[in-house]
Amino acid sequence: MDDFDRAACLGRLLDAIPASQPPSSDLVSQVKLVALSPGELQVSGHKLLIKWGAVPSPFGSCSIGWNACGICHLAFLDIPESIPCELEARWPNATFQQDDSEAARWIKRIFYEGLNADGPVNVFVRATPFQLKVWRALLRIPEGRIASYQAVACAIGSPKACRAVGTACSANPVAYLIPCHRVVHGTGDLRGYRWGDERKRDMLLQEFDRARRASGELSIVPDGPVARPVDEIFSDATVDDPVAADA
C-alpha cells in the first residue's frame, strides 16, 4: 500500500460507527438485510430457486445471485465459473438458473443507477446471530468513511471481539452491498481483502471521491489514476488495532 492509500484511509477513519446517519450517507435505508429463519436455515435452501449471472462491473467481472426474497450472493470473479462455487456451497439444496440479462440489470442498478432508484434492495442471507450483528453495523458506515475492526466490535457491544469481527467480514456473502470493504486495520492498512487488495483500494477511492464531490470539496481522483500526494486534510495519526486479519 502506498503513502496515498494509508494517509487517505487514516483521514477517513471513524472513531466510532454512528448509531444513525442521514438517509443518503449510509446503506441502512438502501439495503434491507433479511435473515433466514431457523427452519429455513436448517434446510439450506431446499426447494429454493436461485437465479444468477456473471457480468462486468466497475470493479471487474462479478457474479450475482438472487431469489424471490432478495440478493443472496455478490462476488468478484477472477476466473469464470459455471456456477460460482461459493454460491453453490452456501445453498447446497437450491436449484440454480442462469440469467445473465437480469444479472446485468441488477449490476446496473447497484453500481450505476443508485440503490434507491426503486426502493431499498433486499439482501437475503444465511448468518449466525453474531454475523448478522456485524453485517448490520457495516451498513451504518457512511460512504466515504471507513471503520476499524475495533470500532465495529464496539458498535455491536463486543469491544473484545475484534478478531471475530474480522472473521464475520470475511464470511460476507454479498460484496459491496454489505460493505466489508469499508473496514480496515486501525493503521489504515488495506491488505487481506478476500476479493483483492487493489479492488478494495479502487472501491474506497471511488467512494472517497464521490463523498467529497457531494460535499463540494475538490476531487481526489480527478479523471484517472491518482498522480499527486494526498493533501493536508488527511491526518497522519494512527489508531491501535490488534486485528491481524482483514476483510
Where in the sequence numbering do the catalytic residues fall? 180
Nearest Cα to 64, choosing from 138, 123, 112, 117? 123
> What does the block give as the cell for 25?
450517507
Integer Cα distance of 221 and 41 in angstroms: 43
Nearest Cα to 171, choosing from 120, 208, 114, 133? 133
CA angle 179/180/183 to nearest 5° reads 115
Roughly how many angstroms between the first and final C-alpha of the chain, as a whole number? 16
**H-helix or E-strand containing 191?**
none
Q: How far is CA 146 from the centre of its chain?
A: 11
> What does the block give as the cell for 64?
450475482
3-class SS of residue 233: coil
